[in-house]
Amino acid sequence: MYKNGLKAEHGLSILIKTDNHHILFDTGQTGLFMDNAQTMGEDLMKVNMVVISRGHYDHTGGLERFLKFNPHAMVFLKQEATHKKFSSSTGLVRSIGFPFDVTPYQERVRFITENTEIAPGIFLLTGIERNTSFETLHPKLMISATKGFMTDPFDDELVMYLHHNKGAVIMSGCAHRGLINTLNTVTKHTKSDLIRLFIGGTHLNGTHDHRLESTLQTLSKMKITQMMLNHCTGIQAYAQVSKRQTNVSYASTGTVVTL
């Protein structure tokens, strides 16, 4: 889904603008987001920080093109994001990890190992706690192991939130550790159950009915003002969520939200 004049791909990239910062959250599968930004009149030279939510190609694929274009933005991610990652979803094991070596840009890359406030009121949380019983890991998404492969525990995943007077504004790449686990991790850190906005992927695409139903039941009890879903949420899961939750919309390519 996308707006006229823009192009879409299987990937995620969100531009966040505050009074003092321009932050790029993920960079899609290619540099296509840069073309869309130009069409929308957004100056990516103003971006001073890039946050990489995870190490899959559909979140990191446009990073190298951006770094060649913008010579000053700092990149924040976990070291685990650069580790090799694989998928067997098509029946054959294929590489789906970081598409380039970040070593030439090491002076601009900051690997974070703990919860970090990258600017006043803007936080990256590195330890998404897995506490729900229904949000299980995807067995076809893997990392290298001593003997072959093992299920990816998604140690590379992080979530970003901005402090807002009406609740946290949350950006999620895929929520591979679970949407509810991700939301709970943020509310635990903020010490408040108020969420002004959640935007991003939820990896509910193709999930089993029990997980989807348990997710929907839990969401109905949470204090979330607005949810804007996309990417790996999947159209079918989005339809189910939007049917049950009146505060949900689809964040297609080119969507603009002002808080």
Q: Where do the structural domains in the chain lie, given as residue ranges?
A: 14-246
Q: What is the pLDDT of residue 2?
A: 54
| 73-91 per-position pLDDT tens digit | 999 999 999 999 999 999 9
Structurally, what CATH architecture does the domain formed by 14-246 represent? 4-Layer Sandwich (3.60)
Distance CA 68, CA 72 (A): 10
| 224-237 per-position pLDDT tens digit | 999 999 999 999 99
Q: What is the pLDDT of residue 206?
A: 87
Q: What is the pLDDT of residue 147?
A: 86
Distances (CA, A) of 7 to 2, 35, 40, 235, 236: 7, 8, 12, 18, 22
Query: Considering the chain, what is the average pLDDT of its residues?
Result: 95
Q: Which residues contact 249 (CB under 8 A, 6 or more apart)?
A: 226, 227, 228, 229, 242
**Beta carbons within 10 angstroms of residue 15's beta carbon:** 17
In the predicted structure, residue 61 carries a pLDDT above the cut 90: yes
Distance CA 123, CA 113 (A): 13
Q: Which residues contact 232 (CB under 8 A, 6 or more apart)?
A: 174, 201, 202, 203, 204, 205
53: pLDDT confidence band, cut at 50, 70 and 90?
A: very high
What is the arithmetic mean of pLDDT over 194-211?
95
Q: Which residues pair with 87 in a beta bridge?
A: 94, 141
Distance CA 189, CA 170 (A): 12
Per-residue DSSP letter, 8: -
Closest CA to 228 of 168, 167, 166, 171: 171
Phi then psi for residue 22, to 5 deg, are -120, 120
4: pLDDT confidence band, cut at 50, 70 and 90?
A: confident
Question: Rounded to two decimals, what is the model's pTM?
Answer: 0.96
What is the arithmetic mean of pLDDT over 194-214?
95
In the predicted structure, residue 3 carries a pLDDT above the cut 70: no
